[in-house]
Chains A and B, each alone.
Chain A
Amino acid sequence: MRLAAANGQALALGLSPGMTLADARARAPDIRVVVHRPEADAALLKRVLLDFGRFTPMAATDGPDGLALDITGCAHLFGGEDGLVRAVAARAQGVGLAVRLAMAGTPEAARALARFGRGGIHEGEGQSQALRRLPVAALELSDKETQALSRAGLKTLAHLADRPTAPIAARFGAAAATRLNRVLGREDARIRPERPVPLISVDRILVEPITETADVEAVIGDLLIEAMDRLDLRGQGGRAFQVGFFRLDGEVRHITVRTGRPSRDAAAVLRLFRERLAALARPLDPGFGFDQLRLSVPVADRLASRQRGFEPTPPGAEDLGRLVDRLTARLGPEAVSRFEPVASHWPERAVHLSPAALPAREEATWPGPDPADPPLRPLQMFDPPQPVLATAEVPDHPPNRFIWRRVDHRLIRVEGPERIAPEWWRTLKRPLEPTRDYYRVEDQEGRRFWLFRSGFYGEEPAPRWFVHGVFA
């Protein structure tokens, strides 16, 4: 058994990761040892990452024990870079982590300075001086290559930095040369953040944590106004809006609302959030309060800036979209739907209900009925069809009565059959559902039904009768 990690005190005693447990015990008999659980570490790191999302939306894990934050354009929110570093350190200490922070021009440089240097904020000349002092191990090449570098007398990055890169690439591979360039800040690579970076993201850091719904809504309202201005500049409207609620104790919750068409209407989107917050299955729990709210716009579409008052907006279309959005936010996307025709003669499949908040398919058309015909498809349909007991004078003849839900329906008008065969090309299911013979029937009370017989007489299984729908 070997040590996987050691804290500051252990390191001071001369223990280091990689040492065998027996050796370690020999040096320091009374050390406390816990079993290394990488998955628990990873889970903790993930939570910290989520929480550190409060500092920047561009955050990613860096190895099993590090986080990389791209803080471009974020520092002013925390009173400059010093303030940001202090805030990050305080947050980390708050959850009991020992951290070393480094801020530099590229992610690799920051990583090298944090892991092989003393950390701190570096920029410009100071940054390259600090980097030059780092050992070649800071390039994190393989052990063999690091050794080879030392043997060649190249101990620090300064030794390498002053040489042309081509021979290094020839001797240690292109990867080593790239690594050197990145660590020295000659080449920049963006970090890959955990969540996709939204187009627009607006933050509000709250000095005093808030718990009241009214306060939360007020903050969201402010953020929305800010975000809408930025969308306006881009000539876009948001299709989805997400609010991140950062709780004082590190819990983070994201809530998203979507709109059917691009929107820049702060009031309308705020209403959506209100409804969404009111209808959450797991209500938003402020705990000791939220200390930061972030509004981001992950999806946006082109929306021309509109000049008001010149051209009358056509009434209806836009308002209907808003109504659909509000109802969807309250009742869920499945509850608010639109009928879409499907080119299929199998009755169950002839229509599809799709969420009304999604854009409609343009090409869809409904087959028009023949003007002289009465309705040939029922207004209401049962899914699945309801079994009934039906009798006909002679097998294969139209039915003359049927019993359904314990009521005897005597049929006085019958039309049919309309034979509908299953769509064998659509299904791999064998055997196929039997062919259906449909009848339009009217009973003595003036109720009109759509009955069908499934299967044929004289075949196995014996035919069965169903009521599939009711005509108006």
Chain B
Amino acid sequence: MRPDRDIDALRERLKAMETDGCPTDDARFDLGHAEVDRDLGGLATHALHEIYAATTPDATAALGFALGLVQRAAGDRPVVWGVQAMAGLETGQIHGPGLREMGLDPGRVVLVRVKETKDLLATGEEALACGAVGAVLLTAWGESKVLSLTATRRLSMAAGQGRATAILTRLAAQPQPSAAETRWRVRGALSRALEADAPGHPTYAVELLRHRLGAQPNAWTMEWDRERGVFEQGGRNAEHQQSQRPALPGGLVSPAADGSSAARGGAVRRFG
């Protein structure tokens, strides 16, 4: 018998019994990025959000940003990821260890691989409405008539019904009207270099194209912090801010490496 495990199990059950643990319908989640959260006041949790890859090579950046939103929105609940086969062939297959490196436990993910867009939508609707998942991520490839205004409206209704977050990533497609709550365009952005000029943490140039509640289109550079599970100010701006910090003693630790660990709330995480 392991008492700590028992206590954990009891906590789980208590959590399940508490009705106010359920998010209410105007539930929102934030990104952890101070500026974005101030401007948008968070994103609707039980709604559809659309993310376009700016160009085909930015597909992975778009998926990375989407995964960040999924983790912000879904908490510890299961995630269903529907991927159209063509996307996998063109931009690479989803790699389990890579998911882990983005902070999402691959064990929580059910991967659904489909050929046709209509199957992708059907999978999305079914998964959203069933009430068992925290978020559904759909990856569609190319322009498609099937992804119409009606289809996206059905997705957002299913999201409301099943109290889940729907995130539709579109690769190799131009932004078009839809029933999405927010629409984003993402491209990869230069990361803050780590020690010895090594590539840094996932960094995205994110544009808000449309917001149903009327927030103005805007653009930010965001860096994903896996350990804290938040977006942060990232890229060159961040580097600029850092350079204004007091110089560090010794030349062994680069400012960026120290900056990231300081921003991360430090030692507790390191050993946690």
Residues of A within 8 A of B (CB): 312, 314-320, 322-324, 326-327, 330-331, 334-341, 350-351, 353, 356, 360, 364, 366-369, 371-372, 374-383, 407, 412-415, 440-442, 444-448, 469-472
Most buried by B among A312, A320, A323, A407: A323
11 CB < 8 A contacts A-B: A323-B132, A326-B126, A353-B96, A378-B98, A380-B59, A380-B92, A381-B92, A412-B197, A445-B57, A470-B92, A471-B60
Given A337-B111, A338-B107, 8 other A-B residues pairs in contact with their CB atoms under 8 A: A312-B17, A336-B111, A336-B112, A338-B110, A340-B96, A376-B101, A381-B98, A448-B191
A375 to B68 Cα, complex, angstroms: 14
Interfacial chain B residues near A323, Cβ < 8 Å: 80, 110, 126-127, 130, 132-133
Residue of A nearest to B110 (CB): A356
Closest 9 CB pairs of A and B: A472-B64, A380-B92, A319-B132, A415-B198, A375-B101, A351-B96, A339-B96, A339-B106, A442-B199
Interfacial chain A residues near B13, Cβ < 8 Å: 312, 314
Q: How far is the CB of A60 from chain B (nearest CB, A)?
A: 42
Q: How far is the CB of A10 from chain B (nearest CB, A)?
A: 60
Q: How far is the CB of A329 from chain B (nearest CB, A)?
A: 11
Interfacial chain B residues near A445, Cβ < 8 Å: 57, 187-188
Interfacial chain B residues near A378, Cβ < 8 Å: 60, 92, 95, 98
Interfacial chain A residues near B16, Cβ < 8 Å: 312, 314-315
Inter-subunit contact B60/A379 (CB<8 Å): yes
Interfacial chain B residues near A377, Cβ < 8 Å: 95, 97-98, 100-101
Given contacts A336-B110, A380-B95, contact A375 B132 (CB under 8 A): no
Most buried by B among A335, A374, A379, A442: A379
Interfacial chain A residues near B201, Cβ < 8 Å: 374-375
Inter-subunit contact A339/B132 (CB<8 Å): no
Interfacial chain A residues near B205, Cβ < 8 Å: 446
Interfacial chain A residues near B58, Cβ < 8 Å: 447
Interfacial chain B residues near A447, Cβ < 8 Å: 57-58, 60-61, 188
Interface string of B183-202 (1 = CB under 8 A from A): 00001111101101111111
B113 adjacent to chain A (CB < 8 Å): yes
Interfacial chain B residues near A374, Cβ < 8 Å: 191, 194, 198-202
Q: How far is the CB of A449 from chain B (nearest CB, A)?
A: 9
Interfacial chain A residues near B97, Cβ < 8 Å: 341, 350-351, 366-367, 377
Inter-subunit contact B63/A472 (CB<8 Å): yes
A444 to B106 Cα, complex, angstroms: 31
B73 adjacent to chain A (CB < 8 Å): no
A445 to B109 Cα, complex, angstroms: 30
A322 to B132 Cα, complex, angstroms: 9
Interface residues of B in 5-24 (CB under 8 A from A): 12-13, 16-17
Interfacial chain B residues near A327, Cβ < 8 Å: 110, 112, 123, 126-127
Residue of B nearest to A356 (CB): B110
B272 adjacent to chain A (CB < 8 Å): yes
A339 to B95 Cα, complex, angstroms: 9
Inter-subunit contact A471/B202 (CB<8 Å): yes
Given contacts A315-B16, A335-B114, A413-B191, contact A369 B98 (CB under 8 A): no
Interfacial chain A residues near B270, Cβ < 8 Å: 371-372
Interface string of B96-132 (1 = CB under 8 A from A): 1111111001110111111000010011001100111
Inter-subunit contact A368/B198 (CB<8 Å): no
Interfacial chain B residues near A338, Cβ < 8 Å: 107, 109-111
A320 to B78 Cα, complex, angstroms: 8
Q: How far is the CB of A265 from chain B (nearest CB, A)?
A: 14
Inter-subunit contact A339/B80 (CB<8 Å): no
Most buried by B among A324, A353, A375, A415: A375
Other-chain residue from B98, B132, B226 in contact with A320 (beta carbon distance below 8 A): B132
A407 to B189 Cα, complex, angstroms: 17
Interfacial chain B residues near A440, Cβ < 8 Å: 198-199
Given contacts A331-B119, A383-B93, A469-B98, contact A413 B112 (CB under 8 A): no
Inter-subunit contact A339/B111 (CB<8 Å): yes
Q: How far is the CB of A397 from chain B (nearest CB, A)?
A: 14
Given contacts A339-B106, A368-B100, A380-B63, contact A375 B191 (CB under 8 A): no
Q: How far is the CB of A163 from chain B (nearest CB, A)?
A: 68
Residue of B nearest to A321 (CB): B132
Other-chain residue from A316, A326, A339, A412 in contact with B99 (beta carbon distance below 8 A): A339
Interfacial chain A residues near B199, Cβ < 8 Å: 374, 413-415, 440-442, 448, 471
Residue of A nearest to B16 (CB): A314
Residue of B nearest to A442 (CB): B199
Q: How far is the CB of B13 from chain A (nearest CB, A)?
A: 7
Residue of A nearest to B186 (CB): A472
Inter-subunit contact A380/B17 (CB<8 Å): no
Interface string of B151-169 (1 = CB under 8 A from A): 0000000000000000000
Given contacts A315-B16, A316-B77, A442-B199, contact A381 B95 (CB under 8 A): yes
Inter-subunit contact B99/A442 (CB<8 Å): no
Interfacial chain A residues near B101, Cβ < 8 Å: 369, 375-377, 379
Inter-subunit contact B91/A380 (CB<8 Å): yes
A440 to B91 Cα, complex, angstroms: 17
B242 adjacent to chain A (CB < 8 Å): no
Given contacts A315-B16, A316-B77, A353-B111, contact A375 B61 (CB under 8 A): no
A356 to B82 Cα, complex, angstroms: 13
Inter-subunit contact B200/A469 (CB<8 Å): no
Residue of B nearest to A370 (CB): B270
Given contacts A323-B127, A374-B194, A448-B188, contact A316 B78 (CB under 8 A): yes
B135 adjacent to chain A (CB < 8 Å): no
Interfacial chain B residues near A407, Cβ < 8 Å: 57
Inter-subunit contact B60/A380 (CB<8 Å): yes
Inter-subunit contact A335/B95 (CB<8 Å): no
Residue of B nearest to A311 (CB): B13
Inter-subunit contact A316/B132 (CB<8 Å): yes
Other-chain residue from A315, A331, A412 in contact with B114 (beta carbon distance below 8 A): A331
B269 adjacent to chain A (CB < 8 Å): yes
A412 to B226 Cα, complex, angstroms: 23
Inter-subunit contact A375/B91 (CB<8 Å): no
Residue of A nearest to B77 (CB): A316
Inter-subunit contact A472/B132 (CB<8 Å): no
Interfacial chain B residues near A413, Cβ < 8 Å: 191, 193, 197-200
Q: How far is the CB of B11 from chain A (nearest CB, A)?
A: 12
Interfacial chain A residues near B78, Cβ < 8 Å: 316, 320
Inter-subunit contact A469/B95 (CB<8 Å): yes
Interfacial chain A residues near B264, Cβ < 8 Å: 371
A155 to B7 Cα, complex, angstroms: 81
Interface string of B248-269 (1 = CB under 8 A from A): 0000000001001100100001
